[in-house]
Amino acid sequence: MIDLPPAFDMFADRMMRVIYFDMQRYLVAAGFFTVALLVFRSWARRKRIQGRRATRKDYTREIASSLRTSVIFALTTFLTLGLRELGLVKLKLETFALFTVVWQTALMILAHDAYFYWMHRALHHRRLFRATHLHHHKSRTPTPWTAYSFSSWEAVTEALFIPLFMLATSTLGLAMTGLAVFLFLWHMIVRNVIGHLGVELYPAGWVDNRWTRWWNTTTHHDLHHSSGNTNFGLYFTWWDRWMGTEHPRYREEFRKVTARTRKAEAEPQRESAPA
């Protein structure tokens, strides 16, 4: 038997905890929405965006590569904690004001939306696409399990946001709170899974309301998977609209999906109406 130093045992234990946290987020979010779509299958059938269905091979590939992505995400989390130990990253794990948590969470979401848009567009460059982003686009018909289905190279670029953001804010003298980072990570995976549902979750009129049309729908990202070089944004439509990369039929396609649902809901009422 080889006696490993206590420091190694501590490192291994912490590493397993971080991997467990990242895998747990993915499995809980993707699993929850998968079960919900099965329970409400009749509603989901009417709200399907594409006619094509994902195959068993698609699900197997997505889950396998997503577990690999969780490990890579965990490694970058460890990198961030290591930078904290070196004093390069300011991360407060003590008590903090609720207002601070709210604005810091919002700041991370806005910063990540910008990072994701430009990183995503870069991965679509012809010199990078095959080596980085092609694996994700093998899921032409997304499922909740597509959310983390990345190649190793893409997983690294996705995961680098946290340490880069933390280094930037620390340089500016801003100490992020642990709870804000925690809430951001849960927001990220939930919105990511919703974007890959393959079923439109948002109600009719969403894209026509001035208060909600800036918020990405499932149709928005689904069109990216089915058509390619449009709709690069993750959370909001701002960057796609500003940069002219929004799918020209996005709103039209969204209205078609939600119109099917409204029509289906109206039919029983007409059938039950007196002659």
For residue 241, give the nearest of 216, 222, 204 by alpha carbon.
216
Q: What is the pLDDT of residues 37-65, one digit of tens each?
A: 999 999 999 999 999 999 999 999 999 99
Name the band, by pLDDT with cuts 50, 70 and 90, for residue 272. very low
Q: What is the pTM of this model?
A: 0.88
Q: What is the pLDDT of residues 153-185, one digit of tens each?
A: 999 999 999 999 999 999 999 999 999 999 999
First to last CA, the chain: 85
Which tokens sit at 126?
């012809």
Decide: helix, strand or coil at residue 177. Answer: strand
